[in-house]
Structure 1
């Protein structure tokens, strides 16, 4: 928990300075109290997923930016064989529901992964539903599992992909995925790659910290699926 607080605090301070914003200005943009933001920056307070999403939307950054560790802290000169593996059954994973997407993170038992595999159901049908395009470190691959999607990117015309088609893209380029006109939401396999792609672990920790009584579980925006009550 202390490591996550420190990482979040450092990330928020770095983003705020990069945008040349005061705490007062961040508070105005996000609706979070100045005292709360100050405690976060000083590693005295963490935030719930809802508050993190509110912070990301107000600052117009991807939520993953708050969980990327310092790449200089990782030693990549002497890789070791870890023999790690993870099997994801059909109902396993961490479900994160947002207005535009339902993300199901799989293989969540492995930390510090270079790749983050996600099964994404796309509910958005218009680009106006996105206040800002998503962008984050690294690259990603997407493969259409069901339906048809329209991929909007910062430097290209929208591209339509059908079931069985795929795309590889630079994740630092602004991007958004829409379901093409039709009766059902489209679904894709999305694999994000980055040396710092470990933010899903913090989402998992947040999900567990926010567990509610059984009768409220259906209202949770984030939960681990395939887990017995």
Structure 2
């Protein structure tokens, strides 16, 4: 099957519950340490600036490619603004890197054909203000990208208030807890064992409305085509 072919509808492993009723506002995520959040903002901002300068790109060039304002990117680079998952995904696209590369230096290119990934070498991405933690499980490949993440979404954790789109295709399975999942404006309530699959170009977002952390095995595919 051509992984780049748009999928006409979501495929699920188990029957799901669809709710068309109006969704109540998502409660604000309980704040973690303000100092830790500030440290993360500064670290991520500095990393984004390093990647941009290393590629010889101006703020304007990255802003145009990512579909973001120059002012917002400047604030993020200086650690003055926290970026949502949606914004980070756009920045990664604008810089031609994976979202994990925004948090720490990428893997050594010399390991690009390594067939295994050790537990001790996993990349761990903590988005304190969203309540989301991502671990990259698969070996590094620059192109094409077929990445598997272990995601933990804390109660009230969310990808953002707005849906976002990007290149690629995604699939996954809920290992623990539950997840409110939105694709094309529709809300799907997923429980343990439920699966999803959709083209990333379709507007999507998610949040954990349950009382316990949700664990998701999340697969993301992107070809080398831009």
- TM-score computed with the length of structure 1 as normaliser: 0.54
Structure 1 residue 194 and structure 2 residue 225: aligned? no
Pairs within 5 Å for 1:34-183 = 54=83, 62-68=90-96, 84-89=114-119, 92-98=121-127, 99-100=129-130, 101-123=132-154, 125=156, 130-153=160-183, 155-182=184-211
1:170 is displaced (CA, Å) by 1.4
Note closer, same or farther for the CA distance 1:146–1:126 as it changes in structure 2 (3 Å cut).
Answer: closer
**Structure 2 CA distance for aligned equivalents of residues 157 and 56 of structure 1:** 20
Note closer, same or farther for the CA distance 1:140–1:177 as it changes in structure 2 (3 Å cut).
Answer: same
Aligned residues: 161
1:195 is displaced (CA, Å) by 1.2
Query: Which residue number in structure 1 is paired with residue 64 of structure 2?
Result: 16
**Structure 2 CA distance for aligned equivalents of residues 8 and 158 of structure 1:** 41
5+ residue gaps in structure 1?
Answer: 34-46, 70-81, 198-229
1:135 is displaced (CA, Å) by 2.3
**Structure 1 CA distance for aligned equivalents of residues 133 and 196 of structure 2:** 19
5+ residue gaps in structure 2?
Answer: 1-46, 98-111
Decide which structure has greater helix share: 1
Contact 2:66 2:90 survives alignment (8 Å): no
Contact 2:174 2:216 survives alignment (8 Å): yes
CA RMSD, Structure 1 to Structure 2 (Å)? 4.0
For 1:76-99, what per-residue CA distance to the aligned partner results, in whole angstroms no more than 9, with x for missing partners? xxxxxx97511443x541111112
SS of the aligned residue for 2:70 comes to: helix
1:3 is displaced (CA, Å) by 8.1
1:104 is displaced (CA, Å) by 0.7
1:174 is displaced (CA, Å) by 2.2
Contact 1:105 1:119 survives alignment (8 Å): yes
**Structure 2 CA distance for aligned equivalents of residues 3 and 172 of structure 1:** 25
Note closer, same or farther for the CA distance 1:60–1:173 as it changes in structure 2 (3 Å cut).
Answer: farther
2:70 to 7, 16, 26: 26
Higher relative contact order (CA 8 A, sep 6+): 2
Note closer, same or farther for the CA distance 1:52–1:12 as it changes in structure 2 (3 Å cut).
Answer: farther
Contact 2:66 2:94 survives alignment (8 Å): no
